Amino acid sequence: MSTIHTSTGRRHDLDWVRVGAFAFLILYHIGMFYVTWDWHVKSDHASHLIEPAMGILNPWRLALLFFISGVAIRFASDRQSAGSFAWSKVKRLLIPIAFGMFVIVPPQAYLELRWKGEIPADIWAFYLSYASFENAWSIITPTWNHLWYVAYVFVYSLLILPFLPALGRLAGRLERAWPSRGGTVALMIVPALPLLFCQLVLAPRFPTTHALVDDWANHASSLTIFLFGYLAAKNSGFWRTVDRVLPLAGSIALGLAIILFVERSNRAGMPVGRDYLTTIGVLRVIYAWAAILTILALAQRWLNRKSAALTYLSEAVLPYYILHQTIIVVVAYQMIGAGVPAVPEAGIILVATVGGCALFHEFAIRRSRWLRALFGMKPLPGRNEAPAMLPARG
C-alpha cells in the first residue's frame, strides 16, 4: 500500500494500475452479493448469472495487487533503514488493521449473523461479545474480513525484513543478467512455474481461509507474486520485456478468458473429475500471469502520465478499501426483502458505496490528522509539500 519513488521520476502507470485494481475490487464485492458463492449476506436475486464474469476476474485480481505491493515495498525499503521501514509498516498497515477490526468491520459481522438468524437485534450486546473474543457463532470474531489483504502485506513486509540485503543482491544480479533483447517466452513461462506448483500441489491440500495461520497455499502463491514484484521493481530489462511481451501475453489472456468464461457458463450439471479440474487449474494460472503482464504492459504504454485525479485517487485508495465492504454489506442488507429489482438494487448499492467512500474520505478522513493515521494515510503535508505517488522505472 506504499507509494514508490525513484530518483528518476514516478511510476504513474503503476499508480493507475493500483487504483484500477481496487476499483474492480469494489465491483467484485458488490457482485458477491449476487452470486451463489458463500458471502456475508445474499441478495434475493442471487444466482449463477454473473459467476462466469466474476470467474474471469478471480485468477488475477488479488495477484496483481500483491505484485504491485511487492514493487512498492522494494522502493520503500531501499530508502529507509530497517527500523524505519518496520515502524512505517506498523503505522501505515497494522494500525488500520486493528482499527478496522474493531470499528469498521463489526457491522459486517453483526449483519451477517442477523441474516443467518444467530443473534438478536441488540447491536451493543453483540459488540461486547465480539470485542471480548467470544466465538459462540458460525464466524470467528473479532474478524478482519476483507482486510486480510492488508494483514498479509504487513506480515510479508516484516517477514522479508531480515532478508532485505540478500534480496537486494539477488535483485541486482537479476537486473545485470537480464537479456537486453528477447526473453518474452521465458517471461511468460518461468514465473508461472511456482504458481502452477501452488495451484496443483498445495491448493488441494490447503484450502484458502484468509486466517493467516493455516492459509498455506494462499500464502505460497501470494508471497511468490509479492516477491516477483519486489525483484522486478527496479529491473529495467524486466519492464522492457513486459512491453515486448504484450502481443503474446494479450493474445493468451484474451483466448483463455474466453475459454474459461465458456467453461464456467456451461459447468452446471457437467461431470467434473479430478483431471478436468487439474486442467482448468493450469489454464487459470497461465491466464492469470498473462493477464497481469498484459495489464502492466498496457499501463506502461498508455497510463504513465501525471494527473491531478491520480494524485487524489492514489491517496484515497486505502481509505476506500477499508470502508467499501462495510458500506456494501450495510446497504445490501437493507435491500433484502425490499422487493427492488436486481438492476436498480445493484445500482443503489454501487452509488451508495462509492458515494459513501467519497464523502467519508473527502470530508472526514483526509482532513483529520487522527483519522488519516487510523486509515493508514501519511500525515498532512506541509505547505510546500505535495502528496507522494507511485514510482518511475529505475
The crossing angle, in degrees rounded to 10, of helices 51-78 and 274-302 is: 60
Q: What is the CA radius of gyration of the chain?
A: 21
Give me the pLDDT at residue 266, please.
Answer: 87
Mean predicted confidence (pLDDT) in 231-242: 95
pLDDT score at 325: 98
Say if residue 177 is exposed, middle or buried (CB neighbours under 10 Å; 0-12, 13-18, 19+): exposed
Q: What is the pLDDT of residue 170?
A: 96
Class of residue 57 by CB neighbours under 10 A (exposed 0-12, middle 13-18, buried 19+):
middle
Residue-wise DSSP of 6-72: BTTB--HHHHHHHHHHHHHHHHHHHHTTTSSS--SS--TT--STTHHHHHHHHHHHHHHHHHHHHHH
Least confident of 31-35, 105-109, 325-329, 384-388: 384-388
What is the pLDDT, as a whole number, of residue 326? 98
Per-residue pLDDT at 393: 38
Indicate if the pLDDT at residue 175 is higher than 80.
yes
**Higher pLDDT pick, 386 / 306:** 306
What's the rounded Cα separation, in Å, for the pair 177 and 180? 9
Q: Give how far Cα 59 sits from Cα of 80, 164, 189, 257, Å.
A: 33, 29, 17, 10
Q: Is the dihedral of CA 148, 153, 154, 160 positive or negative?
A: positive
Chain centroid, CA 297 distance in Å: 19
Per-residue pLDDT, averaged over 81-105, amounts to 96
pLDDT for 380: 84
Q: Give pLDDT, residue 386.
A: 45
Q: Does residue 203 sit in helix, strand or coil?
A: coil
State the sign of the Cα–Cα–Cα–Cα dihedral 352, 370, 383, 88. Answer: negative
Instruction: Tell me what the mean pLDDT of segment 235-252 comes to.
Output: 96
Give residue-wise pLDDT tens across range 40-77: 999 999 999 999 999 999 999 999 999 999 999 999 99
Predicted confidence band at 9 (pLDDT cuts at 50, 70, 90)? low
Position of cell 447491536? 123
Mean pLDDT, the chain, as a whole number?
A: 92
- Residue 300 is which amino acid? Q
Top-confidence residue, 276 or 126: 126
Q: Which of 120-129, 158-167, 178-187, 336-345 is predicted with the least confidence, judged by mean pLDDT?
A: 178-187
CB 207 within 8 A of CB 189: no
C-alpha cell at 118: 444467530
Q: Tell me what pLDDT residue 2 has.
A: 45
The residues, any chain, with a CB within 8 Å of residue 333's CB and separated by 6 or more, are: 41, 111, 114, 115
Boundaries of every domain in the chain:
21-105+144-374
Residue 382 has pLDDT above 90, yes or no: no
Task: Report the C-alpha gap between 104 and 304 in whole angstroms.
Answer: 34
First to last CA, the chain: 19
Q: Of 18, 124, 27, nearest to 346 (Cα)?
A: 27
b/e code 241-278 from CB counts within 10 Å (16+ = b): bbeebbebbbebbeebbeebeebbeeeeeeeeeeeeee
Q: How confident is the model at residue 268 (pLDDT cuts 50, 70, 90)?
A: confident
Provide the pLDDT confidence category of residue 256 given band limits of 50, 70 and 90. Answer: very high
When pLDDT is averaged across residues 97-123 and rounded to a whole number, the result is 97
Residue pair 130/141 in contact (Cβ under 8 Å)? The answer is yes
Q: Which of 131-135, 174-178, 248-252, 255-259 has the lowest mean pLDDT?
A: 131-135
27-45 average pLDDT score: 97
Supply the angle between the helices 246-265 and 236-244 in degrees, to the nearest 10. 60
Instruction: Indicate the pLDDT class of residue 387, thresholds 50, 70 and 90.
Output: very low
Mean pLDDT of all residues in 17-46: 97
Q: Give pLDDT, residue 269.
A: 67
pLDDT at 6 over 70: no
CA distance 111 to 88: 34
Residue 383 binned pLDDT confidence (cut-offs 50, 70, 90): very low
| pLDDT, tens digit, 9 for 90 and up, residues 292-345 | 999 999 999 999 998 999 999 999 999 999 999 999 999 999 999 999 999 999
